[in-house]
Amino acid sequence: MSGLAIDMTGISKAFGPVKALVDADLRVARGTIHGLVGQNGAGKSTIIKVLAGILKPDSGRITINGTRVESLTPASVERLGVHFIHQERLLVPTATVAEAVFLNYELRFGPFLRPGAMKRRAEELIRTHFGLELPGDTLVRDLTTAQQKIVQITRALAQEAKVLVLDEPTAALVKREVDSLFAVLRNLRAQGIAVIFISHYMQEIEDLCDEVTVMRNGTDVGVVRPGETSIDEIVSMMIARDVGEMFPRRSHALGAPVLRVEGLSQAGHFRNVSFEVRAGEVLGITGLLGSGVKELVECLFGLEQPDAGSVTIDGEVRRFANPGRAVQGRMALVPEDRRAHGVATDMSVRDNITIASLDRYMTRGFVSRARENEAVDGFIRELSIKTPHRDQLVRNLSGGNQQKVALAKWLSCQSRVYVLDEPTVAVDVGAKVEIYTLLNRLAAEGAAILFLSSDLLEIAGFCDRALVVYRGTLNGEFAGETLDSDLLLAAASGARAQRKEA
């Protein structure tokens, strides 16, 4: 028997004219953690769906734990010991931990459930694998995101998984939780379980994986070992582009201050915050959860109201009662939760892009479809929004492309100030670069950009200058040499005292 837990060879799959997979291979050895990386659309999720038995491949061979399988169904894959931890926390909110772990594989006595046994067994599994005391009768909806992830994994372990496939498992976890998840995965590896780890976070791939399969354009373009291959090389394999362009440079000169914030305070969140953003400048701002940075940005945009202080745009003092006023004041916000605030997922790409600026497409009191279409097609081309046509519903686009639609909406308003709240969360590398390039173009045209992100490498790599909010006050300003992710982290976590740097 070979040492391979999963051996997928020459897998091809086409949807009509679109070739989603072309002769792709994925080989995962027992007792290893295997990374699977690639941009959205590279074929990662298609090959995983083939493995899950959700999609039938057009051709190719699949061997699981030495058993050649001809046709897979979701049920037969589970019987072969392959389990999937979905990105969405697919758990029943009204179930208890024990019920969620054993759903469809209930422990029973004759026809009857053994609730006590299921509770004890679930608690025992969680204790053994995670070193955590989680009462088996807690309701899933009362768990934290990380705990729900743990329940999902425990469910697979309860069925004696031999292969565990995790799709973006860390997307909603904080650092400490990520660390303990990694400890669990390493522990599983030691027990001989094969783990397939899909992530957009290269740092995690490097920290965790023994081997990485890189996918591009529906096929595997290489299998590398993170110890021997650098992150930059992996990323350039993914995008077939020099990683030096990950954070494209800006060369334009900065203009006069556009946005000036003075002494802004909101009780309980932040106090006496002052800064300015110049025309053409990208100012990064960051802070830990609860630092007040979120509320600060929301105050700027009129989602929240400050208690004191002033906001000046182009020398004029502005106070926005609501986001609508802010838009009229030529300010644009790309909020973090794009599904809730940024885009209307049940509307078309066109309507989303033009909704905030319809009056620009008016002719004699009516919206001119022709002018609208022309502008929208322009945006789709410029931002390379991957959509079959402008009437496609936004819900059918990938996360990165939804984000581009949200950006296009504000571009069509021609704002002076752009406030972006985590614009690249859950966006793949290629789309990230496109978003950076786009922001550079806005900056070059003289816009002032305030960029809120908790990705410190991004802040350090992309922004001209950065501010750190710590417990409601500015804890340092960073530029040039000092604009470094380690220093930013020190300031954000309060490890470094308050101090000004030029």
Q: Is 176 in the site for other proteins (CB under 8 A)?
A: no
CB 17, min distance to other proteins, A: 29
Secondary structure element (H or E) that encloses residue 178, with its range: helix 175-190
Q: Is 171 in the site for other proteins (CB under 8 A)?
A: yes
Torsion of CA 444, 445, 448, 449, to 10 degrees: -60
CB 109, min distance to other proteins, A: 10
CA dist., res. 434 & res. 384, Å (int)? 8
Q: Is 295 in the site for other proteins (CB under 8 A)?
A: no
Among the listed residues 9, 128, 191, 203, the single contact to other proteins using CB under 8 A: 203
DSSP one-letter string for 219-259:
EEEEEE-TTTS-HHHHHHHHHTS-GGGSS----SPP-SEEE
Bridge-based pairing state of the strands 33-37 and 331-334: unpaired
Stretch that binds other proteins, among 61-69, 199-207, 344-352, 472-480 (CB under 8 A): 199-207
Q: Total binding residues for other proteins by CB under 8 A? A: 58
The neighbour count for residue 221, using CB atoms within 10 Å, is 16
Evaluate whether 180 touches 130 at the Cβ level (below 8 Å). Answer: yes
Among the listed residues 9, 94, 363, 498, the single contact to other proteins using CB under 8 A: 94
CA dist., res. 350 & res. 409, Å (int)? 9
Nearer to other proteins, 57 or 292 (CB): 292
CB 14, min distance to other proteins, A: 26
At 145 the three-state DSSP class reads helix
Stretch that binds other proteins, among 141-149, 355-363, 399-407, 494-502 (CB under 8 A): 141-149
Distance set, CA 99 to CA 45, 86, 135, 369, 417 (Å): 28, 18, 12, 53, 50
Q: Per CB under 8 A, which of residues 258..287 are in contact with other proteins?
A: 286-287
Q: Is 106 in the site for other proteins (CB under 8 A)?
A: yes
CA dist., res. 273 & res. 321, Å (int)? 19
CB 208, min distance to other proteins, A: 13
Site mask, other proteins, residues 351-390, x = CB under 8 A?
Answer: ----------------------------------------
Stretch that binds other proteins, among 61-69, 211-219, 274-282, 421-429 (CB under 8 A): 421-429
Residues paired with 165 in a beta bridge:
84, 196
Q: Is 167 in the site for other proteins (CB under 8 A)?
A: no
Among the listed residues 175, 364, 381, 499, the single contact to other proteins using CB under 8 A: 175
36 by Cβ neighbours in 10 Å (0-12 / 13-18 / 19+) ranks as buried
Among the listed residues 40, 170, 265, 266, the single contact to other proteins using CB under 8 A: 170
Compute the chain's Rg from CA coordinates.
Answer: 25
Nearer to other proteins, 237 or 288 (CB): 288
Phi then psi for 231, rounded to 5 degrees? -55, -45
Q: Is 425 in the site for other proteins (CB under 8 A)?
A: yes
Evaluate whether 488 touches 496 at the Cβ level (below 8 Å). Answer: no
Nearer to other proteins, 13 or 200 (CB): 200
Q: Is 178 in the site for other proteins (CB under 8 A)?
A: yes
Among the listed residues 5, 299, 327, 429, the single contact to other proteins using CB under 8 A: 429
Site of tokens 């500015």: 474
- Please choose, from the candidates 327, 307, 299, 328, the residue with its C-alpha nearest in 3D space to the C-alpha of residue 421: 299
Evaluate whether 231 touches 36 at the Cβ level (below 8 Å). Answer: no
Among the listed residues 16, 70, 71, 104, the single contact to other proteins using CB under 8 A: 104
Angle (nearest 5°) at CA 206 between 201 and 212: 90
CB 53, min distance to other proteins, A: 11
Nearer to other proteins, 103 or 355 (CB): 103
CB 229, min distance to other proteins, A: 15
CA dist., res. 334 & res. 208, Å (int)? 33
CB 306, min distance to other proteins, A: 22
Q: Is 74 in the site for other proteins (CB under 8 A)?
A: yes
CB 122, min distance to other proteins, A: 13
Residue 329 half-sphere exposure, CB side, CA atoms within 13 Å?
26
CA dist., res. 169 & res. 432, Å (int)? 20
Site mask, other proteins, residues 334-353, x = CB under 8 A?
Answer: --xx----------------
Nearer to other proteins, 300 or 492 (CB): 492
Among the listed residues 1, 18, 75, 502, the single contact to other proteins using CB under 8 A: 75
Secondary structure element (H or E) that encloses residue 207, with its range: helix 202-208
Evaluate whether 334 touches 406 at the Cβ level (below 8 Å). Answer: yes
Q: Is 145 in the site for other proteins (CB under 8 A)?
A: yes
Give contact residues for other proteins (rule: CB under 8 A): 74-75, 78, 84, 86, 88, 90-95, 99, 103-104, 106, 108, 111-113, 139, 141-142, 144-145, 155, 170-175, 178, 200-204, 231, 235, 286-290, 336-337, 422, 425, 429, 454-458, 485, 489, 492
